[in-house]
Each structure stands twice: as C-alpha cells, then as structure tokens.
A and B are shown apart, each in its own frame.
Chain A
Amino acid sequence: MMKPVNFGIDLGTTNSLIAKYDGNKVVVFKNPVGQKETLASVVAYRPDRILVGDKAREYLTKDPVNVFGNFKRKMGTDEKYYVVNIDDNVTPIQLSALVVKELKNFIHSGEVPEACVITIPASFDTMQSNATLKAGQEAGFKHIFLLQEPIAASLAFFNEVAGDSKKDGYWLVYDFGGGTFDAALVHSTEQELKVVDHEGNNFLGGADFDFAIIEKIIVPEIVRQTGIENFEQELRVKYGKYEKLYYEIMYYAEEAKKELSYSSSVVIEFNAELDNKKYEFSIPVTREKINEIFLPIINETIKLLKNVMENNRLTPKDINQVVLVGGSTFIPQVREQLALQTGISLNYSTDPTTSIAAGAAYYAANKYYESSPIEEAPEEIGGEILSTVEFTEPELKIETSYNKSSRDKEEVLLLFCQGAYENKFFRIIRSDGGFDTGYIPLKAKKTEFLSLVPAVSNLFNFYVYDTNYEEIKSFARQLSIMHGQYMVDGQPLPHDISIEVDDIENKTTRLEAIFERNSLLPQKRTLYREISKTIKKGSKDSVIINILEGDKNARPASNLTIGCITITGKDLKTDLVKGSDIEIQLHITDSRVLNTSVFLVMTQQEFKNVFSISEKQISLERLRDQYNDMETELTETIRQFQYNDDDIWEIKANALLEDLHSVKEKLFKLKTGDKSDEKYVIAEKIMRVSQAADKLGGNERISMLVEQYFELKERVLEAINSADFEKEEMRKKLQKIEQSEDSFIRSKNVSFIENKQKQLDELHWDALCNTTSFLISRYVLWRELPAEAFKDYSAARSLMKMADVSLEKENYPEFRKQVFSLTHLLVSMNVNANKDFKGTGIG
C-alpha cells in the first residue's frame, strides 16, 4: 500500500528536530525526556553507557575523547573518531544515526515510521548527501528523501503564511542558529523551488552573543568591583579557579540576551565569592548597550548575505523577502540591522526554531512509499511487592527484579540475561522525563539504580535494542515503583489522620485529610487555613483544632479524636479576626507521637502540643456539636425511610437514635474540666452510632445515592451548557468533583456520597444563577413581593429600577449583578444564617 511519508527531520549541526504532517497541520514532536522540541546533536560514550542529546552535551568539553558534537561537518569524509571508552572507532554516519534514532523516540503516538525526509545544508555535496542517507538507513528508515534546508524553510513559510501574490521570484533564507550561519538564495516559480547560491560560516552562532555579553559587560564590571587584574584570562582557564562562576555567568548572559529581546533593560544579579571575599553583583544591561556589542557579529552575517546577492548580480529590489530561520533571529537587533542594511522586507512569521523541520514535514506529506505491516504496542507488568519478571524471546531471556515500592531516593533494578545478549542494549526512561539511563550494553548480570520522584508513582519505560540500536519491540515493558508507600520494612499508618474544619454553608463540619492511610511514618505537614469566626480577646469563644483518626471520607463523628487543642479568647493577645490566617503544623513520629504546633498569624502566637496516640483528647464543646449533628441526620434518615415505606431500615435507624439519646443527658450535664471517663464513653458511643448510620439502608441505599448522584450530574452538565456566564469556571468545578468519583463510589460511604451530592447541588444552583432566562424568571417573581419581604425596601426598589433599565437595554451582565444584589436584600435569604453553628473556627 502506498502511504505518504509525513515525517520530516531537521538533522542539524548543533540541534535536531522531528515533525510530522498530520492531516492539515505540522506537529513538532517534543522529547519525552524534558519536553523540549530540540535535541542536541551530541553523542557521549560514557564508561558504561551511550548518551544522546542534551545530557551528552554537558560532557562535550570535559571529555572530548569520548563525547562528539558537530559531526555533521564531517559527513561524507573518511574521518573516524576514536572512542577511548569503547576502544573502537565511530564514524560521523554512526553518530548521526544515533541522533536520528533518538528523534524517533520523540514520536509519542507510538507510530514506527518507515520513511522520512531528512534535511541537508545547501552546501552538501553528493558524498555528504549519501552519508546522510546512510545515517537515515542505519537509524532504521527504509525510505529516505533528502531536502535542502533553505528549501525546507521556504516551504514552511509558503505553507504556513497566507497570501501567494509574491511567491514567484528570488528569496533569501537567513539561517542564524546556535552555532552556525547560512545564507541561501532561493528561486521560486509555480512549479519548483530551487537553491541558486549560498554562503555560510560554521563557527558563527547565537553563543557568540552570550560570549560578547560576558566579555564586554559582565567581566569589566567584575574587574571594576574586585580589582582582580587578570580575571578575564583566569575565567577562561579550563579547570581554573573561576570555572564554576564562568558557567553561572554563561547562564545569566543567555537569560539576559533572551529577556532583552522583549524588554528594554535587565539587571544581571548574582553573588560570588572571589579570592575569599564575598561580592554581590547587580549589573544593569540595556538593549542599547547590547545592540552596540552585537553589531560586529551581525555585520558578519549581513556581509555573507550581501555576497550571495552580489555573486548573482542581484540588488535588494530583486528579492521578495528575507525569510528568517534559527533561534538567533529572535534578537531584535538582528532584524533591525537586516532591514536597515539590506532594505529588503523581512519575514519572521514562521517559528524560526522549528521551520526547517516543519518544511521537511510539508515536503514529506507529498512524498509516498510502499509500507509494510505495523508492529504491536507494549503491555504493562502487573504485580506484587517484589516484581520478578521474565521476558523471553527464542534466543534471549531477560529477567528483571526490583521493589515495587520504595522510600529511598533510588531503587535498584537487577537484570539477568541468558542467551544472545551480546551486542544488545537496554535503556530505561522515567515517564516524567527526569531520568534516562541512555543505551547500556546487556550483560549476564547487571544492576542499575533508578532515581525516584518522592511520594508519587514512578513509571519507567524499559526498552531493549539490537546491535544497530534498533528497538526490539517485544521486550518493551513498563515498570512501576511507588515511592513512599507500602514499604515492607516501614510502619504505615493504619487509618487516615484528618483535621476537622467548618463547612459553614451546610452548618456542619467535615474532615480534611492530613496524612492518608498507608503513608509511611514519620510524616510532617503544614496546613494553612483561615479563621472562620471572629474571637474576641478575653471571650469564651474558641478555635478547636481537632485531629481525628479513621476514614477521611466519613463524617467527623465516625472518627476517633486523637488530639485536640482549644484556643479560647482568654489565650489571645489581641482579637482574632475572621479571615485571618492560621498555620497548623503536624508531625507524627515513627512511634506515632503526634506533635502539633499552631501559629496564629494575626496575633503572632504559637501554641504547641504533644499527644501520644494512646491518650485520647476530647473537646466537650465539639462533642456536643457532633451529638446535635448526628441527631439531626438520623432524624432526617428516619423521615426518608418512612417516606419510602422502608420499615426494616426505619426500625434500625430508630434503634440507633435511641442509642444516641441514651447519652444526651449525661453529655449536656458534663462540665468542662470533668476528670471522669464519662466524656470518653460518650465519644465512643457517638462514634459507633455514626459508623452504624453510614451503613443504614445497606447496598440499596448506596446504589440509590449513586444513581441520584449521576442523575444530578447530568442535570448540572445541562445547566452549565445552557448557562450564559462563567461556563469554563463551572466546568472546572464539575471536573474536580468528577475526579473523586471513583474513590467515593468505591468508599460505599453514605455521608461521603451525600457530601458529593451537596457539592453538585451547589454547582447546579451556581449554573442557574449564571443563566439569564433563570435570572429573569426569579426577578419577575421577586418584583411582585411585598415590601416586608425585603430588608430594605427602598434600596430594593432602586435596584429594581436599574434592573428594569438593564433588561430593556438587554445589558444582561449588568442585570445579573443587580439581581445578585437584590438577593442579598431578601429577608428569606437570611433564614438559614448560621447563628447557632459554633464549629471549630477553622475554615
């Protein structure tokens, strides 16, 4: 079957890219390791592995006998590089093939392309072109098409920029990259694009601008402040005393260059210790100044561009436009000088970094090849705590062994190979992109340390390659290591540990998990919350920090209180105002001792407490609130069972209510400071009633609640879709509720599901309040209400007048605001004010 090639590769001297023509647009693939579109064209032969790309570049200057870059310049020559670490020679073709293979790993769609277009410089001769073809073949491509880079850049420009009135004629392609400069003259007709002539400098690029900033701005300032005479010479000494500083200022110079592309001035700031003395440098740099120091470099490129025109007896008016390619063309001074010195209009409408790869992909869309069948995708390993898995092929058997959970920063992977493992490689890449082993030769027995991101599930992709670094798909696997949980030799928490916070709207409290079940001890966390009620200095009002153990999804009463700090008005230095911040730091040790520190930001007071989990801590005030909540809830549940004629569950619910009532008298008679065990006995009773209440109605009630939840969700979605305001915000809120769907359905916990229903109800109401037709209908009703229905009727009348005008003018956003204001004036809106709700005081 004939298929379009679609894949285009920019195999650059310093950086390479891969793109694909996908239907009607070009997608430039990103490196799964680090998510960058560009890959450094560098290969490093480290003692036990091969690295390709940015990581290899780090070693380029440090280990030149084993690390190779710029090999594109040697393509088509018989030059070989002797690699000390492998005691063998490698050719520029082999190195290029490794870069192309690495680019193939960028293709996230899982496709394995058999054909591609690779770009080459306009200056490449037949030998160099053939060498590029060979590199493509060694990288596993069966069909390769070559395309000159200036043509690729022009194609990207022609395809991505609208308007075709000036497509015929001459164009200049100005390609100023990180390390090289090329200028090409392209001629276009309706039928073809052709490179007429070109000039270039392989040692002129963006890095020269960074060096200029260091040399002309940073170094003179350091010398001025420190008086170190031979500083510049010393700075450049390999392994010299200022080497670390050199790398630091290289970074700042590059950042300043980038920032000055859109700002008129920047300040380069850094601290350094020079010759045992500390300095703080703050060096202002203006765009004017860098324009001056960049000019000689830019002039050099313009000279080459003009040479191309002169050699072909062309004047600026013969040229349609200069097409800009390469990262250095982002610099405003480059564009200004080009326009000024050539008088030709510039075109920088395509992304200069990716335009060559994009152009190659456009070209690839119109090239066809005969395709072969597709191979299958890898599968995931399931498993137990220690995973030992065998991957077997007729000639090769690989066994891996590793812990599926760890608390260490890295975890060891053991690899045992049998059979034909010689000259084959493996490679492991962590799926977030923060770890990559590079190509490592397979051995009979091999250990590799896998670095882990703390407290998350770390997924590693394991690959095996043949002698040509071609992946053997049947060995591809995903290894998963959970960090911080389920450690065999650590002590996991048996229950969730939560804090009780206020749910003002529903006049109740809810739990917020601090440490989740199975987290490994010790654990430490700081919570930042707001005070939900004002507490006057000297008053009896209090903030209660109630720490509970149990199911985080259950109601607080179902949990066991393990620590409690009560801060009353008498403890305060000043009033504690509603909305001020409270910081609660909790630390639970290996031996389950809970250290709590509470900091009131407004009064700058700290309260510390240490609880042993063997000692229960109970606040009488909270206990009474919990009793009242439980009583209300059970009464409501009984009413629902009566409504549904569910006699059996009604009897059970009544029995629970009776059980609860049995402690009422004692609870409300107890005095603060009572030394007896009574309050613990009552707390235990309330907890048991609460836990049993969650089971009332059995699975049928759960199923009904889940069903109601989904029906409600449908209604919320419809309401959001028909809303006229804040749709996106509401969709995000709905997504947030949906994210926990799995966990609350699995929890089979009544109060948890009911809580989610409440959240949906609130969102439903929000959606209605953001729908103009609903607001109009409410407004029409309210308009007819008598004066006593409003707290301030004259204010309500004046709002109604304004709303009438907005409605007449169809100014709905204004109308919405007025209706909202009117809502606050309704007496009925105050009926449920939380005057009786005391809560914890933590919002």
Chain B
Amino acid sequence: MINPIHIMNQLFEMQAKINESGVAQNFERNFNRLFSLFEEEGYIIQDPTGEAYAETRTDCEASISGRIGSKMKITRTIKPIIYQKKDGGSVQLLQKGVVIAENN
C-alpha cells in the first residue's frame, strides 16, 4: 500500500514548481481535483506560506532565517501540513510542515 502522504507531498512539490513556471493556470483544475480526492478521504492539506509564525506552532518544523522577532512570517513551505479527520469532528496531525520563517 502506497503511503498517501508521499503522494500528497509530491503533488504539493509539483504544484509549487508549476506555479513558478508561469503555466499554473492550465493545471489549476487538475490540482484542485487531486487535492479534493485526498480531502474526501479525510485529509486536510495546508500550505502555511504567508501565515504568521510563532513558537506555539508545533504544526511546523521551521528554520528561522535572519534574526528572530515577534512578527515572523512563513516565507517558504517545503512540505505542507497534513491533518487527518477523526470520528467526532476532531483531527490528528499526520505531518508537520517543513517551512522557513523570517522576521517581517
């Protein structure tokens, strides 16, 4: 059985590469579809790029670039955060995001 996390990570990486190539629009529908298939299976995939970073965020493994400060932001996401929904409406963290955070 293939670990679905590996597939989600590959998809995330492919999407990031395509976004940089300037032809992202052509593939947007396909990526939405692929990610929604995982969402139907109860996975929540989050790209925290642009979100505030604080030491309380144990959903990410961060490398801090530059000096630390009170208003840090996630500027690069190498691996997304992945949760899985459980019975009763709660979730379980399956994969921490791997990110780079910088002071604003």
- Chain A interface residues toward B at CB < 8 A: 33-35, 44, 46, 49, 51, 54-55, 58-59, 62-63, 239, 243-244, 247-248, 250-251, 271, 409, 431-438, 449, 451, 453-454, 456-459, 482, 526, 528, 583, 599, 739
Known: A271-B17, A457-B88. A247 touches B63 (CB 8 A): yes
CB pair A59 B64 closer than 8 Å = yes
CB-nearest residue of chain B relative to A60? B64
Known: A244-B102, A433-B93. A438 touches B20 (CB 8 A): no
CB pair B68 A434 closer than 8 Å = no
Size band of the B side of the interface? 35 or more
CB pair B17 A434 closer than 8 Å = no
CB pair B32 A451 closer than 8 Å = no
CB-nearest residue of chain A relative to B84? A432
Contact of B93 among A51, A239, A432, A526 (CB under 8 A): A432
Contact of A248 among B78, B83, B96, B102 (CB under 8 A): B78
**B5: CB under 8 A from chain A?**
no
Question: Nearest 6 CB-CB pairs, A to B?
Answer: A434-B59, A247-B63, A244-B65, A457-B89, A433-B93, A436-B58
- Chain B interface residues toward A at CB < 8 A: 17, 20, 29, 32-33, 36-37, 44, 51, 55-59, 61-68, 75-76, 78, 81, 83, 85, 87-94, 96, 98, 100, 102
CB pair B93 A434 closer than 8 Å = yes
Known: A435-B57, A436-B56, A451-B57. A528 touches B33 (CB 8 A): yes
Taken together as a complex, chains A and B put the C-alpha atoms of A599 and B33 apart, in Å, by 12
What's the nearest-Cβ distance from chain B to residue A531, in Å? 16
Which residues of chain A are within 8 angstroms of B90 by Cβ–Cβ distance?
A: 431-432, 456-459
Known: A62-B68, A583-B29. A438 touches B56 (CB 8 A): yes
CB pair A434 B81 closer than 8 Å = yes
CB-nearest residue of chain A relative to B85? A456
Which residues of chain B are within 8 angstroms of A454 by Cβ–Cβ distance?
A: 44
CB pair B55 A432 closer than 8 Å = no
CB pair A243 B65 closer than 8 Å = yes
Taken together as a complex, chains A and B put the C-alpha atoms of A35 and B29 apart, in Å, by 33
With a 10 A CB-CB cut-off, give which of B90, B92, B94 has the most chain A CB atoms.
B90
When A and B form their complex, what is the total count of cross-chain residue pairs whose Cβ atoms lie within 8 Å? Answer: 107
CB pair A63 B59 closer than 8 Å = no
CB pair B78 A251 closer than 8 Å = yes
CB pair A34 B93 closer than 8 Å = yes
CB pair B100 A437 closer than 8 Å = no
Which residues of chain B are within 8 angstroms of A63 by Cβ–Cβ distance?
A: 68
With a 10 A CB-CB cut-off, give which of B65, B76, B81 has the most chain A CB atoms.
B65
CB pair A62 B64 closer than 8 Å = yes
Which residues of chain A are within 8 angstroms of B61 by Cβ–Cβ distance?
A: 54, 58
Taken together as a complex, chains A and B put the C-alpha atoms of A438 and B54 apart, in Å, by 12
Q: A244-B100, A244-B102 are in contact. List 7 more A-B contacts (CB 8 A).
A: A33-B58, A35-B93, A244-B65, A244-B76, A248-B76, A432-B93, A457-B89
CB pair B67 A62 closer than 8 Å = yes
CB pair A250 B55 closer than 8 Å = no
Known: A271-B20, A434-B81. A599 touches B58 (CB 8 A): no
CB pair A437 B56 closer than 8 Å = yes
Taken together as a complex, chains A and B put the C-alpha atoms of A64 and B104 apart, in Å, by 21
CB pair A526 B32 closer than 8 Å = yes
What's the nearest-Cβ distance from chain A to residue B99, in Å? 10
CB-nearest residue of chain A relative to B13? A269
CB pair B58 A435 closer than 8 Å = yes
What's the nearest-Cβ distance from chain B to residue A321, in Å? 33
Taken together as a complex, chains A and B put the C-alpha atoms of A453 and B55 apart, in Å, by 17
Taken together as a complex, chains A and B put the C-alpha atoms of A250 and B62 apart, in Å, by 12
Contact of B87 among A49, A482, A528, A739 (CB under 8 A): A739
CB pair A49 B96 closer than 8 Å = no
CB pair B68 A59 closer than 8 Å = yes
With a 10 A CB-CB cut-off, give which of B33, B63, B75 has the most chain A CB atoms.
B63
CB pair B75 A244 closer than 8 Å = yes
CB pair A34 B58 closer than 8 Å = yes
What's the nearest-Cβ distance from chain A to residue B51, in Å? 8
What's the nearest-Cβ distance from chain B to residue A517, in Å? 14
CB pair A58 B93 closer than 8 Å = no
Which residues of chain B are within 8 angstroms of A239 by Cβ–Cβ distance?
A: 66-67
CB pair B93 A44 closer than 8 Å = no
Which residues of chain A are within 8 angstroms of B81 by Cβ–Cβ distance?
A: 434
With a 10 A CB-CB cut-off, give which of B64, B66, B94 has the most chain A CB atoms.
B64
CB-nearest residue of chain B relative to A410? B52
